[in-house]
Each structure stands twice: as structure tokens, then as C-alpha cells.
């Protein structure tokens, strides 16, 4: 058997093990480059593919390869950009998709309303988005999408970015829109928020101009809708979004969405819409670590022409704990005060700013920081996890079966066990009197997820880092 045949067999087996969309996204244009003793070298069409195969599919790929070539022990990956645009006739069968029908008479008219371009703010770019472990995949995905957005060959369509409030979703979406426009100044790139989209529809219905609105959205080259959770319960709007989605996909037009949770967890939405939102690539962003925060602060300070002493940067990084928008508020205040008083900011003056903005929050100082990060008991972990996932601590202690609560809750149990060495019984007690077998199953579930899902692994790593445990 030659390389091509072997790889064909591997893909064939793999395609039966992984969901079709996922398989199409990650294994199309991936090739077996070399067989050397007990190792394979696998070529990937982008850095993103390489990361994903290495992190997420490594074990399933190796076990599948072993079915055909039991002697293989190691997989190596490389990037070969020429693969990205190659049609792959050899394995065409496996990737056979029912190609969406092309719409007849595609409109050639561009939008002449430039309303939307005003919505894209120049202060957000992919270049001034600071990359850390917490948002690396999301940033890479946006870059890849921006490169291919108008080529009609995007492999990530739609791209769906999710994360809590103030973690950079809007920044990423706007940055991506700006990057697409920079590369293709002629492209019709529409960025809108779910709220604005909804209002437009309501007005169009009132003025009996829905047909016009429909035409407008169907002529775009790239559509970005921010904060789709806002569509919850708005049935009429959801129908419009659904139809627009189908039309744009038929025309291979790139779409990018953001939301505060994964598509499957969106509430008050039609299933057929949430399933479509998850058809392409889903990436998440989390609260950045201390190090990433300090870099963001330095970047923003520089943009505002502020010079901050290192201890002030650290102080801000420690105390901005939930939402990065706060960071901008604090820097604006520092800027104002500096302009008025001509005095350089200190930890004291910045502390006063924080107190004014959030009178009830406890401020941490640089010296209390290391200890503050070291969890001593289950309560510390509960506080951290509730901050991190932006859910009330009472939900962690309660019994709700909602996935957006269950996952953080079970994650807290795992942390109690791994970081504090607590027994299953004492964890059960600390979490509102739960049975130790419940705790055991919960921890097991998260452990399995950590192995299978890179997002979970990153969450756990980030939390442990915050706890000073790694
Ligand atoms: P979201 O839309 O998720 O609520 P935003 O995109 O509005 O959050 O981000 C809030 C603030 O944090 C913005 O000022 C944004 O520029 C900033 N921000 C978030 N993440 C980053 C990052 N990685 N690098 C630079 N700035 C960031
Ligand atoms: Mg936003």
C-alpha cells in the first residue's frame, strides 16, 4: 500500500468516528506526508489545523492509524500552506458533501448604504488584541476567517465566538470585520448587533418594508452578528435570521456570530437556528490570566498616551477580576485625573478610583496577591469559579441541572480534590450536603472532558493557575 492508500483508509475509518461537520472541518486537505519507521509526518493546511489535530484529535488519530499500521507509535505535524487551496481528488468520496444549490441571478449590486461601516470602530483590530492562552484559538480562528472570508472557500462557516461579558467578543468581531475590509476594500461587510438587527426588523415590519430589508442582508459578502443571545424569545426575528443564514450559506458567504454561551446552550431559541449557529467552528474566550491582563493594560495605556508605573499596572490587573471593560473605565479615569492634576498615578490614587467605581468590592494589593490566589478552603474555590464563569456562587451550591451551572459546579469539585486534597465526603458537605458518589461522578466527568475537549482542559489549567497550583 502506498501513502495515499493508507491515508485514504485512515480517513475512511475516522470519518465513521467523528461527526461529519467536524471531520470535514479538520481533515479536509490534511495529508500524510511521510512514513518514517514508527512515525508519521502529517501535513496540515494551517497553523490552526495543526494545533487542533495535535491537541484534540491526537489520540483518536493515532489509534485509527494503528488499525492500518500497528507499528506506528508517534505522529508529527507540520504546516503546509499550499494544502489550503488544493482540491483533493483522491479522497473526494469521503468528503463528498451535498453542495448547496447556487441561487440564480445573484445580485451584483453592492449595498450603497454605508451605514454599517460606521459600526466598525477603528479602535478594535486583530493586531491590538492581546493574545494569551485564554483566547489563542479564538484569535487564530478570526485571523484564518479574515484571510478567507471573501474567497468562498472558508472552512469555518459560520464562526461562533462565545464568552462572558467584557471578555473581548466585540473586539474580536469588529477586528475581524476591519481586517476583512482592509484586505478587500470592495467587500460588503456588515457588522451588527442582535439588538440592532431586531430593531431593524421591527421597524421594517411596521413600515411594511421587510422585503427591502431581506434583500439588503442577502447582498452582503460577510455578515457579523454580535450577542446573539439577545434573539432569545424573539420568534419573528429568529425566522428572519434563519432565512438569511440559509441564503448566505447557499452563496458560500462568511458569517460570524458571538454569544454569551455555546449555541446548544442558548435559551429561548429555535433548535433549527441554534443547530445552524453551531455548524461551523465554535471557539471560546475566557477571562485572561494575570500576565495577559498586564499586557492588555500596557497596550491600552499606551494607546491613551498614559505612562503607568509597573506596580500600578499590577494593581489594576489584580483588581480587574470580572470584566475587562472595567479596565478601560479605570484607565479613562486615570487619564482624566492626570490631565487635571499633572500628577503621576500611584497605587493609592488608582485605589481611590476603584473604590469610587465599586464601593463594595474588596481591593487586593500587590503584596496580598500571592496569598490571595492561594485557595485555603472550598469557599475560596467557589468564589474563584463563580467569578471565572460569571455565575452566582449560590448556583454552584444548589442543585440546578442546567449545563451552564453543572459544568462549573463539577469543575469546582475537581479543584477541591486536586488542589486542596479534600475527601469526596467533605466536598459533598461543602457543596450543600451532596452525596459522595455524586461528587465522584461529577469529578470523573470533568476528567474525561479534560482529556477529550481542549476548551475544558484550558479552563481547568487557567483556574489551577489562578489558584497558584500550577
Ligand atoms: P464583550 O464583547 O465580550 O463583552 P468587549 O469586546 O467589549 O467584550 O471587550 C471589553 C474591553 O476589553 C474592550 O475594551 C476590549 O478592547 C478589551 N479587551 C478584551 N480582550 C482584549 C484583548 N485580548 N486584548 C486587548 N483588549 C481586550
Ligand atoms: Mg460585546
399 & 425 share domain:
yes
Q: Does the CB atom of residue 171 touch ligand 1 within 6 A?
A: yes
Specify whether the CB–CB gap between 442 and 413 falls below 8 A: yes
* Residue 404 burial (C-beta neighbours within 10 Å; 0-12, 13-18, 19+): middle
Q: What angle do CA 172, 150, 148 make, to 5 degrees?
A: 65
- How many domains, in total, are found in the chain? 4
121 & 260 share domain:
yes
Q: Which of 171, 256, 317 to mutate to test the pocket of ligand 1 (most atoms within 8 A of CB)?
A: 171
- b (16+ CB within 10 A) / e for 130-161: bbbebbebbbbbbbbbbebbbeeebbbbbbbb
Between CA 345 and CA 312 the distance in angstroms is 7
188 & 267 share domain:
yes
199 & 131 share domain:
yes
Q: Which of 167, 226, 227, 324 to mutate to test the pocket of ligand 1 (most atoms within 8 A of CB)?
A: 324
Compute the distance from residue 148 Cα to the ligand 1 centre, in Å.
24
Between CA 140 and CA 215 the distance in angstroms is 32
In a domain, 76, yes or no: yes
Identify any residues that bridge with 193 across adjacent strands, giving them in sequence order.
Answer: 226
Domain final position from 285, 315, 343? 285
> Residue 261 gets which letter from DSSP?
S
Which pairs count as long-range contacts for 361-366, CB under 8 Å and 24+ apart, including other chains?
361/319, 363/319, 364/318, 364/319, 365/315, 365/318, 366/311, 366/314, 366/315, 366/318
Compute the distance from residue 124 Cα to the ligand 1 centre, in Å.
9
Q: Does the CB atom of residue 139 touch ligand 1 within 6 A?
A: no
| Domain carrying residue 279 | 110-285
Q: Does the CB atom of residue 416 touch ligand 1 within 6 A?
A: no
Question: pLDDT tens track of the chain, all 470 residues?
Answer: 788 888 999 998 888 887 776 787 788 889 998 888 888 889 988 888 888 888 888 888 999 999 888 888 889 888 888 887 776 656 666 666 444 444 433 333 333 344 344 466 778 999 999 998 889 999 999 999 999 988 877 789 999 999 999 999 999 999 999 999 999 999 999 999 999 999 999 999 999 998 999 998 989 999 999 999 999 999 999 999 999 999 999 999 999 999 999 999 999 999 999 999 999 999 999 889 888 999 999 999 998 889 899 999 999 999 998 889 999 999 999 999 888 888 889 999 999 999 888 887 778 776 555 544 556 788 889 988 998 888 888 999 999 998 899 999 999 999 999 888 888 988 999 998 999 999 999 999 999 998 888 888 888 988 888 777 77
Q: Does the CB atom of residue 162 touch ligand 1 within 6 A?
A: no
8 & 147 share domain:
no
Pairing of β 159-162 and β 74-79: unpaired
Give the position, in ligand 1's atom list, of the atom nearest the Cα of 139: 23
Compute the distance from residue 175 Cα to the ligand 1 centre, in Å.
11
281 & 302 share domain:
no
In a domain, 339, yes or no: yes
Q: How far apart are the first and last CA of the chain?
A: 46
| Spatial CB neighbours of 245, under 8 Å, sequence gap ≥ 6 | 158, 255, 273, 276
435 & 302 share domain:
no
CATH number, position 295 = 1.10.8.60
Nearest CA to ligand 1 atom 1: 166
Identify any residues that bridge with 191 across adjacent strands, giving them in sequence order.
Answer: 224
Compute the distance from residue 267 Cα to the ligand 1 centre, in Å.
24
Give the position, in ligand 1's atom list, of the atom nearest the Cα of 123: 16
296 & 406 share domain:
no
Compute the distance from residue 216 Cα to the ligand 1 centre, in Å.
29
Compute the distance from residue 173 Cα to the ligand 2 centre, in Å.
9
Amino acid at each position: 500500500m502506498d501513502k495515499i492508500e493508507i491515508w485514504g483508509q485512515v480517513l475512511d475509518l475516522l470519518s465513521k468516528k467523528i461527526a461529519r461537520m467536524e471531520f470535514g472541518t479538520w481533515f479536509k486537505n490534511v495529508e500524510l506526508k511521510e512514513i518514517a519507521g514508527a512515525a508519521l509526518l502529517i501535513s496540515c493546511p494551517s497553523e490552526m489545523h495543526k494545533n487542533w489535530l495535535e491537541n484534540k484529535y491526537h489520540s483518536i488519530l493515532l489509534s485509527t492509524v494503528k488499525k492500518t499500521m500497528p507499528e506506528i507509535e508517534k505522529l508529527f505535524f507540520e504546516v503546509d500552506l499550499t494544502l489550503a487551496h488544493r482540491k483533493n481528488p483522491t479522497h473526494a468520496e469521503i468528503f463528498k458533501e451535498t453542495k448547496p444549490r447556487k441561487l440564480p441571478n445573484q445580485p451584483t449590486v453592492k449595498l450603497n448604504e454605508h451605514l454599517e461601516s460606521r459600526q466598525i470602530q477603528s479602535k478594535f483590530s486583530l493586531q491590538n488584541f492581546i493574545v494569551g492562552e485564554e483566547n489563542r484559538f479564538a484569535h487564530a480562528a478570526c485571523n484564518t476567517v479574515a484571510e478567507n472570508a471573501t474567497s468562498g472557500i472558508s472552512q469555518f462557516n459560520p464562526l461562533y465566538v462565545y464568552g462572558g461579558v467584557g471578555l473581548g467578543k466585540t473586539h474580536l468581531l469588529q477586528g475581524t470585520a476591519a481586517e476583512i475590509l482592509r484586505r478587500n476594500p470592495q467587500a460588503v461587510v456588515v457588522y451588527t448587533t442582535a439588538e440592532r438587527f431586531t430593531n431593524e426588523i421591527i421597524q421594517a415590519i411596521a413600515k411594511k418594508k421587510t422585503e427591502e430589508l431581506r434583500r439588503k442582508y442577502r447582498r452582503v459578502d460577510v455578515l457579523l452578528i454580535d450577542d446573539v443571545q439577545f434573539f432569545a424569545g424573539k420568534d419573528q426575528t429568529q425566522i428572519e435570521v434563519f432565512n438569511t443564514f440559509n441564503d448566505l450559506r447557499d452563496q458560500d458567504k462568511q458569517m460570524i456570530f458571538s454569544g454569551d454561551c455555546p449555541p446548544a446552550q442558548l435559551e429561548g431559541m429555535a433548535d433549527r437556528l441554534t443547530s445552524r449557529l453551531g455548524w461551523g467552528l465554535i471557539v471560546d474566550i475566557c477571562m485572561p490570566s494575570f500576565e495577559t491582563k498586564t499586557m492588555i493594560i500596557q497596550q491600552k495605556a499606551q494607546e491613551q498616551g498614559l505612562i503607568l508605573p509597573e506596580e500600578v499596572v499590577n494593581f489594576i490587573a489584580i483588581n480587574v477580576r470580572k470584566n475587562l471593560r472595567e479596565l478601560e473605565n479605570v484607565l479613562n479615569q486615570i487619564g482624566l485625573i492626570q490631565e487635571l492634576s499633572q500628577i503621576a498615578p500611584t497605587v493609592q490614587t488608582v485605589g481611590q478610583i476603584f473604590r469610587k467605581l465599586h464601593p463594595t468590592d474588596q481591593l487586593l494589593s500587590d503584596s496580598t496577591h500571592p496569598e490571595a490566589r492561594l485557595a485555603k478552603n472550598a469557599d475560596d474555590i467557589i468564589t474563584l469559579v463563580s467569578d471565572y464563569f460569571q455565575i452566582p456562587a449560590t448556583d454552584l451550591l444548589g442543585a440546578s441541572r442546567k449545563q451552564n451551572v453543572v459544568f462549573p459546579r463539577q469543575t469546582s469539585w475537581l479543584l477541591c480534590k486536586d488542589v486542596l486534597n479534600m475527601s469526596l465526603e467533605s466536598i459533598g458537605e461543602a457543596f450543600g450536603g451532596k452525596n459522595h458518589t455524586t461528587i465522584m461522578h461529577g469529578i470523573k466527568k470533568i476528567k474525561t472532558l479534560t482529556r477529550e475537549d481542549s476548551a475544558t482542559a484550558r479552563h481547568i489549567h487557567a483556574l489551577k493557575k489562578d489558584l497558584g497550583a500550577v
